[in-house]
């Protein structure tokens, strides 16, 4: 059952929310011998691996910034407070350890003590820690963030200003948007223009980015096929 939101605890920014969460977690980490550094900045943004990476978050060590703050980043397509807190807990474990610990024994020992489970690279809270984080989420109040759907943006052809022109090659990426599929294929712009979208072996017609303006169908025999595939 969800705890009532504590409306006196409204955070106006994602950073404030993550900082408050971290401060709440400090005693728990400390009890297990893990000191979370004081100087941390938080973002919900892209990691250095960009939007294509599966990495859910990352932490940059204090030595990486000019003023000795760690930088902790949670990827912007996570928005569920419990998910975000799970990622935060994983990254705070890194922050409390030397960067060279990576996912080795030191990290593993710490993660298991805290209640993180699974493959260490993707270690996330097990039941007990989830329960603790769920309570924390209730106490923190709403996370002022909504999922950034960068995959949707890419595929719908919406342009983000100030991004370098993509798809400079004539090979365009088509993707199956059926839930849980993720099948992608690269196809020459010429084939898209002539024959329409390629098909996922399981789900049929795939979504393709808009054709570059300078690509046109090479012949009129293709128009029937094209209409068929575009639905």
Residues that bind Zn ion (CB under 5 A): 176, 178, 181, 183, 200, 202-203
Q: How many CA atoms lie within 13 A of 90 on its CB side?
A: 27
**Toward Zn ion, which CB reaches closer, 21 or 87?**
87
Q: How far is the CB of 197 from Zn ion (least distance, A)?
A: 12
Hey, CA dihedral for 84, 85, 86, 90, is it positive or negative?
positive
**Toward Zn ion, which CB reaches closer, 68 or 104?**
104
**Toward Zn ion, which CB reaches closer, 110 or 172?**
110
Q: How far is the CB of 181 from Zn ion (least distance, A)?
A: 3
Residues 109 and 90: their CA atoms lie apart, in Å, by 13
Beta-strand relationship, 40-45 and 70-75:
parallel
* DSSP annotation of 104: S
**Toward Zn ion, which CB reaches closer, 172 or 176?**
176
Q: How far is the CB of 116 from Zn ion (least distance, A)?
A: 9
Q: How many CA atoms lie within 13 A of 215 on its CB side?
A: 19
> Is-contact 63 100, C-beta < 8 A?
no
Residues 96 and 22: their CA atoms lie apart, in Å, by 12
Q: How far is the CB of 161 from Zn ion (least distance, A)?
A: 31
């Amino acid at each position: 059952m969800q705890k009532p939101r504590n409306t006196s605890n409204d955070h106006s920014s994602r950073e404030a929310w993550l900082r408050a969460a971290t401060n709440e977690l400090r005693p728990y980490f400390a009890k297990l011998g893990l000191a979370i550094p004081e100087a941390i900045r938080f973002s919900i943004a892209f990691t250095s691996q960009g939007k294509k990476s599966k990495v859910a978050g990352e932490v940059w060590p204090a030595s990486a910034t000019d003023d000795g703050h760690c930088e902790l980043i949670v990827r912007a397509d996570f928005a569920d407070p419990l998910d975000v807190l799970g990622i935060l807990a994983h990254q705070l474990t890194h922050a409390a350890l030397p960067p060279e610990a990576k996912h080795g024994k030191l990290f593993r020992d710490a993660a298991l003590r805290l209640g993180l489970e699974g493959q260490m690279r993707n270690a996330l809270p097990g039941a007990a820690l989830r329960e603790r984080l769920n309570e924390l989420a209730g106490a923190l109040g709403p996370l002022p963030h909504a999922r950034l759907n960068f995959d949707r943006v890419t595929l719908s052809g919406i342009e983000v200003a100030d991004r370098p022109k993509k798809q400079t090659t004539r090979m365009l990426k088509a993707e199956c948007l059926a839930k849980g599929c993720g099948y992608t294929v690269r196809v020459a712009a010429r084939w898209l223009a002539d024959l329409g979208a390629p098909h996922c072996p399981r789900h049929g017609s795939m979504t393709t980015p808009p054709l570059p303006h300078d690509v046109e169908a090479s012949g009129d025999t293709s128009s029937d096929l094209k209409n068929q595939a575009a639905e």
